[in-house]
């Protein structure tokens, strides 16, 4: 596991985090209004209350890393450089959308610049795909990490299991963020999984995990940073369980009356955006003017992009017939970052035999539970301005206590 992970955030970074949180929140509020004005074709799915997870995890990635956002990860797309108009035009089905109107919500991507993979509507399938992305990147010599998100409900699918199992066995550099927002449509998590902590699933795959307060963007960032470095340095996949609450219906057409009112009230008090605002104020990281400037910037950007989206045309009908096959429209070639001779005989030749069983057992990855970073821990460190009190001492101590023996215990 990474020894000296830099998880402190300086003032500039924290203001940037706020910008993304605010942009995420305001953009989705605008989308909700557009839905009620019949401007959105089809369904609308929001991440109200969960913004800290999308923003915090994506913010911890390196520029070459890959992500695959689900529908409630608009924040991650924004951190990755997509502008509000990308999301607005998708929902409004315009020709100027990243998919030219062919698909909606976050179902788009960019293989070459932002390294974003599009999801499909079926849940869990992104995990084997991102496992493949991680394996592929490693194969061509990159030290990149693949990150994707899934809800508590999505962890019930077969694809989740098959994907994570393969990632674990392959020690793929994959970070999986499980957003436990307590509800899968109308099904409470207690009916979805027989576990209190979804992070416990990681033990079944022998991979590392961490549980974090999903409404604390700094804690989320910290957990993601540690997880990413663990995966990047060859430690295998990491499962982050971010605990949060879905503060709106499954979609805009879902009034979510099945959610007990007290539950909503409790979680409202822990709203991630309000919380972070309080933190910035208490830590003296901003003043009223700075906040107003950031808020104004967000409003302006959304208004500009909304005007763009509204004045964008719909796609021409003929587009429906195009693009089924790729016949010469794309050049497909890996960006090699290792000498390809290694992959051809004679350098690539091996003895086609299994290693001895003793070797195999030793190589099995540990399934330690990584330390959850204490709420506000790194933020306090950054406020002092002179770098970090790194969490590594604490982390190392916790690791020692969680280490398992190499030979698995027999279970009944």
Contacts of another protein in 78-107 (CB under 8 A): 93, 98-99, 102-103, 107
Location of structure tokens 């399934």: 367
Query: Alpha carbon of 126 to those of 2, 101, 116, 174, 228: distances in Å?
Result: 26, 22, 12, 11, 18
Whether residue 139 lies in the annotated active site:
no
For another protein, how many residues bind (rule: CB under 8 A)? 83
Distance of closest approach, residue 358 Cβ to another protein, in angstroms: 17
Active-site residue, selected from the candidate residues 33, 36, 191, 258? 258
- Among residues 25 and 392, whose Cβ is nearest to another protein? 25
Site string for another protein, 29-58 (x = CB under 8 A): ----x-xxxxx-xxx---------------
Relative to beta strand 183-184, strand 187-188 is antiparallel
CA–CA separation, 50 and 230 (whole Å) = 24
Catalytic pick among 201, 246, 279, 392:
246
For the CB of residue 384, give the shortest distance to another protein in the complex, in Å: 41
- Give which of 4, 132, 1, 15 is closest to 382, Cα–Cα: 15
Query: Does position 131 bind another protein by CB under 8 A?
Result: yes
Interaction of residue 258 with another protein, rule CB under 8 A: no
- Helix runs in 45-116, H state only: 51-59, 74-79, 84-91
**Pick the catalytic residue: 85, 138, 201, 250?**
250
Q: Which residues contact 292 (CB under 8 A, 6 or more apart)?
A: none
Which of 3, 6, 62, 122 binds another protein (CB under 8 A)? It is: 122
212 contributes a contact to another protein by CB under 8 A: no
Site for another protein in 334-353 (CB under 8 A): 334-335, 340, 343-345, 348-353
Q: Which residue lies nearer to another protein by CB, 132 or 391?
A: 132
Which of 342, 148, 317 shows the shortest CA–CA distance to 228? 148
- Which residues, 282 to 311, sit near another protein by CB under 8 A? 307, 310-311
Alpha-carbon dihedral sign for residues 79, 82, 83, 87: negative
- The stretch among 11-19, 55-63, 71-79, 125-133 that binds another protein (CB under 8 A) is 125-133
Q: Is 376 in the site for another protein (CB under 8 A)?
A: no
- CA-to-CA dists, residue 371 to 161, 198, 210, 397, angstroms: 24, 15, 6, 9
């Amino acid at each position: 596991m990474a020894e000296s992970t830099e998880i402190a955030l300086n003032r500039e970074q924290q203001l940037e985090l706020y910008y993304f949180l605010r942009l995420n929140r305001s953009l989705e509020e605008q989308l909700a209004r557009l839905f009620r004005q019949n401007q959105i074709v089809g369904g609308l799915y929001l991440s109200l209350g969960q913004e800290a997870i999308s923003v915090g995890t994506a913010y911890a990635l390196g520029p070459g890393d890959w992500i695959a956002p689900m529908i409630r990860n608009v924040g991650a797309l924004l951190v990755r450089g997509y502008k509000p108009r990308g999301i607005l035009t998708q929902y409004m089905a315009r020709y100027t959308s990243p998919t030219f109107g062919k698909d909606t919500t976050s179902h788009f991507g960019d293989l070459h610049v932002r390294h974003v993979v599009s999801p499909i509507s079926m849940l869990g399938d992104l995990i084997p795909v991102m496992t493949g992305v991680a394996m592929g990147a490693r194969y061509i010599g990159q030290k990149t990490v693949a990150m994707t998100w899934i809800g508590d409900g999505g962890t019930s699918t077969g694809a989740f299991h098959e994907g994570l199992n393969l990632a674990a066995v392959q020690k793929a550099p994959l970070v999986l963020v499980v957003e436990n927002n307590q509800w899968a449509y109308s099904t409470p998590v207690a009916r979805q999984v027989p576990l209190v902590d979804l992070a416990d699933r990681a033990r079944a795959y022998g991979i590392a995990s961490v549980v974090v307060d999903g409404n604390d963007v700094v804690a989320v960032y910290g957990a993601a940073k540690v997880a990413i470095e663990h995966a990047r340095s060859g430690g295998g996949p990491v499962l982050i369980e971010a605990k949060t609450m879905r503060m709106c219906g499954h979609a805009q057409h879902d009034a979510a009356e099945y959610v007990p009112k007290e539950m909503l009230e409790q979680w409202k008090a822990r709203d991630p955006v309000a919380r972070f605002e309080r933190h910035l104020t208490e830590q003296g990281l901003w003043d009223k003017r700075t906040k107003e400037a950031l808020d104004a910037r967000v409003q302006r950007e959304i208004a500009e992009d909304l005007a763009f989206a509204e004045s964008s045309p719909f796609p021409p009908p003929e587009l429906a017939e195009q693009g089924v096959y790729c016949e010469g429209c794309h050049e497909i070639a890996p960006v090699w970052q290792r000498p390809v001779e290694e992959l051809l005989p004679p350098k690539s030749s091996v003895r086609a035999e299994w290693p001895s069983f003793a070797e195999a057992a030793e190589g099995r990855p540990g399934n330690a539970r990584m330390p959850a970073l204490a709420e506000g821990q790194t933020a306090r460190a950054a406020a002092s301005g002179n770098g970090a009190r790194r969490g590594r001492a604490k982390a190392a101590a916790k690791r020692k206590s969680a280490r398992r023996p190499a030979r698995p215990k027999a279970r009944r």
